[in-house]
Amino acid sequence: MKIQHIQSPNFSSRDGIEVDVIVIHCASLPEGRYGTGYITDLFLNRLHAGAHSSFESLKRLRVSAHYLIERDGAVIQYVDTDDKAWHAGVSSFEERDNCNRFSIGIELEGDIHSEFTEKQYTALIELCRALLAKYPKISADRIVRHSDIAPRRKQDPGPFFQLGRIQKGVVK
């Protein structure tokens, strides 16, 4: 799998905690616009708040994900999976808080109001298969949506995301 690497400064140590969950998110900046490069700018702390009116609230935000899968299926890695990316925020899975400590965050370029592309699903399944091979504690049922771990705060990746397709697709 071809993966472009762009290092985000927004990460920290997992402090020896093992990875056992994959969290799927979606993002577009501005919302509903794709291919702008602004997601990368956000993850690199170089998003210009004046570029769009919706960016003002993001100017002090320090976030990242391990991966972004763009609409054409291209994959960018921002944080090494052995490190903690800052993607989940206030979250809980199986009565454990701070999911960033034990999860890998994957952003799909998109929004909660739109379908994801076939190329994104293909890339996501391939990436998840590779991650399951590297991290044996992750299983298909431990691939979850952001809304599953932060249901009061988040809706992504939204109603159009086919989680079951991904979970079935990773099982060979």
Q: Which residues are catalytic?
A: 107
Q: Which residues contact 144 (CB under 8 A, 6 or more apart)?
A: 21, 22, 23, 24, 93, 163
Q: Which DSSP symbol is given to 13?
A: E
- DSSP secondary structure letters along 23-40: EEEEE-SSTT--S-SHHH
- Asked if 68 and 75 count as a contact pair (C-beta separation under 8 A), the reply is yes
Which residue bears the tokens 């899968």?
A: 69
